[in-house]
Structure 1
Amino acid sequence: MQEDFLHYVWQHQYFDKAELHTTAGEVLTVLRPGMRNSDAGPDFLNARLQLGEVEWNGAVEIHIRASDWHRHKHQHDPKYDQVVLHVVFEADQPVCRLDGSEVPALVLAPRLAPELLHSYERLLLATDTADTLPCAPLLGTVPDITRVSMAERALLERVEQKAAVVAELHQQLGQDWEATAYHALAGAFGFQKNSEPLARLAKALPLGILRRHRHDARQLEALLFGQAGFLTENENTRTDAYITGLRQEFEFLRHKYSLHGTALAAHEWNFLRMRPANFPPVRLAQLAAVLHARPALFDALLSAADVPTLLRFFQAPTTDYWRGHYRPGVPGKVPTLGKSSIQVLITNVVVPLRVAYARHVGQPELVESAVALLSQLSAEHNHITDAYAAQGFVHRTAADSQGLLALHRGYCVPRRCMQCAIGSRILQRNMAIR
């Protein structure tokens, strides 16, 4: 059993309330269960209870076993002096406040309906695999509207989490939105396997330097590929005139901007088990093309009216050399940045960037328009989204995909069933409160 279940039971008062008594025999009446506390301190605040003839206003703390009070060190924390009731599944020992006064306790174990416990155990003990929802056998009792609304809620939570990362980056960069867009875009062009080195490259090559050379694609490439460590001479590049020219240009610019000692090494990039179209030099060339063709990154990403506009934004043409080379000195026909890759960039950069900006300037209406972009993108198909679709969840657009992924990672995998509207609905339909 998890404490979340007892939180749920207390919040909704899903237990037998007939002839309530504390472990000390005092008559208990719950006038108000209180509000869930998401910060440090007791679990529920501003509860209103009557113990015997006295009415109390204060906090409620919830544990599986009463001894968890000591295990969590509450006996040393002044925040818990405001607790007026200790709600537990099992009262294995009394607990006291800092002043030595005993905290009244209510035991829930004998007051929970067997049907409620059975439904909860089915959720908790369901086989945990990547392709199975914990509640799959019980989903027949859940209306479609509950599934849709929970997936939408999970989607918004996922978008807000990504936006929070952007907002933190914005703070670190001195509240420069253009620099924020550059750093976010650079990391995203790494597409998981190389996002970390590309993010470090952005730090090693400030936007202020790139801005001075955005008009010259060759100088941009010299800076980016040089700082990335891809311009060193080897058997592939020794006779390559283009790479030799970039190397010479980079040596001049590195000295000019004192970039010595900040460059990455070629071995820091990942090539293993990747298609050539995803090789870091290919993605770096595509990033260079965007920086060259789009001098105002943030304004363009913020003002793009729809997905077709963003497709044109990201499909900036690379230089001739990088249309015919996967790596420095290694020839091969390279495709342009594909729609599926652009969809990832819109999902992981454009939408969070817009939401972070909307929160910063206090314009919540911009959040809705940002999230609406996801509804213009095609659905993502993988073993997780397909498992949910097979159980009847709506899966038509990228907004649905992101919602299902958020539901899976944020609720199903960590078994946060009690905080999920679907799990809550299942318990409500399968219990009989005495």
Structure 2
Amino acid sequence: MSEDEVARRWWALQPGSLLPLSGGGSLLLLFPGRPGGRCGPDVRDAVLHDGTQELVGDVELHVRASDWQAHGHQSDARYNNVILHVVLICDQTLPPRHQDGSPLLVCSLYDAVITPADSSSVCWPCQRLWPQMASEERTHLLTLAGILRFEEKAAHFVRALRLAEALAPFSTYDVCLIQALAEGLGYGRDRRFFRACGQRLLGLTNHLPEPEGHSLSPPPLDAARLRTLSLLIARWSVTGAWATFRPALSSKTTRRAIAELRAALAPLSSTRSDILICNVILPFAYAIALTEANTALAEQARQIYLSYPALPTNQITRAMSRQLLLPSEPRQACQQQGLHHIYQETCRAKRCGICMAGKKLL
């Protein structure tokens, strides 16, 4: 037996299946989640119900219950969000524990009833609505969701700017922006570690958390990004980070603005630069505009964001494109961000009753 067999059985489960717990009782499966990434739990964002409340979190798959300890998950903070340990063999009586000491529920799939797949068994409201919508209507809704995400990020920066303090040679704006850019370099990798590295390079802390995977040093890709971060911060200590990006926002054309913003992030690749521009720099500029009551800057940041071409695909955009039965992924970054917004706000927990993507049919 292998973990591939456990995974096969997990993904064969249908929503509505009862999952028996080794300690007694059961959980109702509402949504099996999505496959995990290179590090951390095997399944992300599953939705279960214990008879009283919904549980939204990760699931770890093993052949034996004792594999939790054998793999060191009891001392790994990345597994603190695991809500269910799914196994084939329950070979221990005491429940495993998270790194924070809390107990973990265990389910053996040997005791679960697997219902054969039925294409008509589950159809979410959005999956009935979206195929009926015109392309323009879908684009409009995703754009609206993308704008909401943009404004939420800007509001977060407004709050962060109020708490930030200048640290020579960096201004208050730079201290806030550089921390966010450092964290952005860790998107899809280890955000907490990258943000801490940025804070250390700024002189805000001497502490660094352990990199994911409990390695003595970060993986080669992470190490390369950290070297680039160090180079950029050294450059901005002379030119200023915000002062470097601000002129590009005033470019006469969006294409020129994007080119100048990418150049300001060299030697980062254009792919990674685009991710930072859309997720960090443009909403940060909008936050500055709100703080300074600068309507021209606000309009510049918003228009560049709305015109930005698509970013690289990721797990969320792929999962949401499948969920909404889209013929293809959106071609604009704003609409991709709309997929992220819908996912984080409602689809992750399957809160269909208030979801902007399907509530018209409820």
Q: TM-score, normalised by structure 1?
A: 0.45
Cross-structure match for 1:104: none
> 2:146 aligned to 124, 136, 155, which one?
155
5+ unaligned residues in a row in structure 1: which ranges?
A: 1-124, 210-261, 317-336, 428-434
Q: CA RMSD in A?
A: 3.4
2:127 equivalent to 1:136: yes
Cross-structure match for 1:195: 191
Cross-structure match for 1:381: 313
Cross-structure match for 2:53: none
5+ unaligned residues in a row in structure 2: which ranges?
A: 1-119, 167-171, 252-256
Once the two structures are TM-superposed, the CA of residue 300 in structure 1 deviates from its matched residue by 1.8
Cross-structure match for 1:313: 264
Aligned CA distance change for structure 1 residues 153 and 377 (closer, same or farther; 3 Å): same
Aligned CA distance change for structure 1 residues 177 and 418 (closer, same or farther; 3 Å): same
Partner-residue secondary structure (3-state), 1:268: coil
Cross-structure match for 2:337: 402
Partner-residue secondary structure (3-state), 2:330: coil
Q: Which has the larger radius of gyration?
A: 1
Deviation sequence 1:392-412 (CA, Å, 0-9, x none)? 577112122111222233233
> 1:354 aligned to 285, 294, 301, which one?
285
> 1:299 aligned to 243, 261, 282, which one?
243
Aligned CA distance change for structure 1 residues 277 and 372 (closer, same or farther; 3 Å): farther
Task: State whether residues 154 and 284 of structure 2, in contact with CA within 8 Å, keep that contact through their aligned partners in structure 1.
Answer: yes
2:174 equivalent to 1:178: yes
Aligned CA distance change for structure 1 residues 180 and 126 (closer, same or farther; 3 Å): farther
Deviation sequence 1:284-341 (CA, Å, 0-9, x none)? 210122123342101222332311111111114xxxxxxxxxxxxxxxxxxxx32221
Aligned CA distance change for structure 1 residues 194 and 414 (closer, same or farther; 3 Å): closer
Deviation sequence 1:182-221 (CA, Å, 0-9, x none)? 22222222334332123234444546x9xxxxxxxxxxxx
Deviation sequence 1:84-118 (CA, Å, 0-9, x none)? xxxxxxxxxxxxxxxxxxxxxxxxxxxxxxxxxxx
Between the aligned partners of 2:155 and 2:128, the Cα distance in structure 1 is 35
Between the aligned partners of 1:309 and 1:191, the Cα distance in structure 2 is 22
Between the aligned partners of 1:379 and 1:204, the Cα distance in structure 2 is 29
Deviation sequence 1:356-401 (CA, Å, 0-9, x none)? 1122122345344323334333343242254267435771121221
Task: State whether residues 146 and 341 of structure 2, in contact with CA within 8 Å, keep that contact through their aligned partners in structure 1.
Answer: yes
**Identity of paired residues, percent?**
21
Aligned CA distance change for structure 1 residues 149 and 170 (closer, same or farther; 3 Å): same
Correspondence list, 1:130-279, <5 A? 134-174=125-165, 176-206=172-202, 262-264=205-207, 268-270=210-212, 276-279=219-222
Once the two structures are TM-superposed, the CA of residue 416 in structure 1 deviates from its matched residue by 4.5
Correspondence list, 1:322-337, <5 A? 337=268
Aligned CA distance change for structure 1 residues 414 and 275 (closer, same or farther; 3 Å): same
Between the aligned partners of 1:362 and 1:271, the Cα distance in structure 2 is 45
2:227 equivalent to 1:285: yes
Task: State whether residues 139 and 426 of structure 1, in contact with CA within 8 Å, keep that contact through their aligned partners in structure 2.
Answer: no
Between the aligned partners of 1:297 and 1:410, the Cα distance in structure 2 is 31
Q: TM-score, normalised by structure 2?
A: 0.53
Task: State whether residues 178 and 298 of structure 1, in contact with CA within 8 Å, keep that contact through their aligned partners in structure 2.
Answer: yes
Q: Which amino acid aligns with 1:288?
A: S
Once the two structures are TM-superposed, the CA of residue 270 in structure 1 deviates from its matched residue by 3.0
Cross-structure match for 1:342: 273
> 1:372 aligned to 286, 293, 303, which one?
303
Between the aligned partners of 1:203 and 1:156, the Cα distance in structure 2 is 29
Aligned length: 224
